[in-house]
C-alpha cells in the first residue's frame, strides 16, 4: 500500500482534503555582531564571573600553566589530550594524569580526581559558554565528572556567540558524536527553589583565556 493511499484514507476518515504542498523552510537568520578580540574576551570573562565561575586572562601559555598549578596545590587532576594543554605544560604538573584513551580507565580516574582540566573548541562571549566537541583529544567525562573543572582557551577561539558558532559548525553532528555547551558551574533549584551547585557536574569552574 502506497504512502499516498494511506494518507488519503486517513484524510477521508478525518473529513479532510489534501492541503497545499509544504513550502521550503525560510533561510536561517544568523546575526554576527562586530566585536574586537579584547571586547570578546572581556565579555566572556564577565559572563563567567556573573555565573559564579572564576576567570583568568593569561598573557602566555606558561602563565596559564602557573595559574593552574596554583589551583591544584596538591590536588589530584586529570587532563584531556588536547594539544593546547601540552603547550601550557599541564600534563607535566605535579598530580596531573593525562594520555588516557581507554574509556574504562578514563572513567575510573575521572571518578576519583579532584580536578578535570580541558581546553575548549570554542567559547561564546555573549553567554560565557564553553563549547567542547567530544573526541579522543577532548573526552567529555573530564569536564563533567570531577568536582572542579578548569578550561584553558586560546584567545582566537573566543567567538561572539551562538550565531557565529553555527556559521563555523553548521552541522556539529558531522564532526562529533556530541557537542557539550557548558555555561557556568552545574546548578539546580528544583527543590524548594533553593540554588544548589555541583549537582549534575562540577560545582566550581575556572576559565583561563590565553593570549
| Nine-digit cell string for 27 | 533561510
Burial of 179 (0-12, 13-18, 19+ CB in 10 A): middle
| Nine-digit cell string for 207 | 576559565
CB 51 within 8 A of CB 129: no
- pLDDT on residue 37: 94
Q: Which helix (H) or strand (E) holds 97?
A: strand 96-97
| Nine-digit cell string for 72 | 591544584
Q: Kindly tell me if the per-residue pLDDT of 84 is higher than 60.
A: yes
pLDDT in tens, 89-121: 999 999 999 999 999 999 999 999 999 999 999
Q: Which residue has the higher pLDDT, 96 or 1?
A: 96
CB 77 within 8 A of CB 114: yes
Burial of 19 (0-12, 13-18, 19+ CB in 10 A): exposed
Please indicate, yes or no, whether the overall pTM of this predicted structure exceeds 0.85: no
Domains of the chain as residue ranges with CATH: 32-210 (3.40.50.10420)
Amino acid at each position: 500500500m502506497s504512502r499516498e493511499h494511506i494518507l488519503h484514507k486517513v484524510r477521508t476518515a478525518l473529513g479532510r482534503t489534501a492541503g497545499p504542498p509544504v513550502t521550503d523552510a525560510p533561510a536561517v537568520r544568523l546575526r554576527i555582531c562586530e566585536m574586537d578580540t579584547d571586547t570578546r574576551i572581556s565579555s566572556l570573562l564577565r559572563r563567567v564571573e556573573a555565573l559564579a565561575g572564576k576567570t583568568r586572562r593569561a598573557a602566555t601559555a606558561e602563565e596559564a600553566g602557573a595559574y593552574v598549578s596554583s589551583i591544584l596545590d596538591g590536588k589530584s587532576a586529570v587532563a584531556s589530550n588536547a594539544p593546547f594543554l601540552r603547550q601550557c605544560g599541564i600534563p607535566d604538573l605535579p598530580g596531573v594524569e593525562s594520555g588516557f584513551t581507554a574509556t574504562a580507565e578514563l572513567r575510573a580516574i575521572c571518578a576519583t580526581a579532584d580536578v578535570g582540566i580541558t581546553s575548549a573548541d570554542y567559547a561564546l562571549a555573549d553567554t560565557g559558554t564553553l563549547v567542547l566537541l567530544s573526541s579522543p583529544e577532548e573526552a567529555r567525562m573530564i569536564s563533567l565528572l570531577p568536582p572542579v573543572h578548569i578550561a584553558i582557551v586560546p584567545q582566537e577561539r573566543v567567538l561572539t556567540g551562538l550565531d557565529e558558532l553555527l556559521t563555523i559548525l553548521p552541522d556539529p553532528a558531522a564532526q562529533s558524536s556530541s557537542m557539550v555547551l557548558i555555561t557556568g558551574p552545574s546548578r539546580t533549584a528544583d527543590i524548594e527553589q533553593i540554588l544548589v551547585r555541583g549537582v549534575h557536574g562540577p560545582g566550581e569552574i575556572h576559565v583561563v583565556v590565553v593570549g
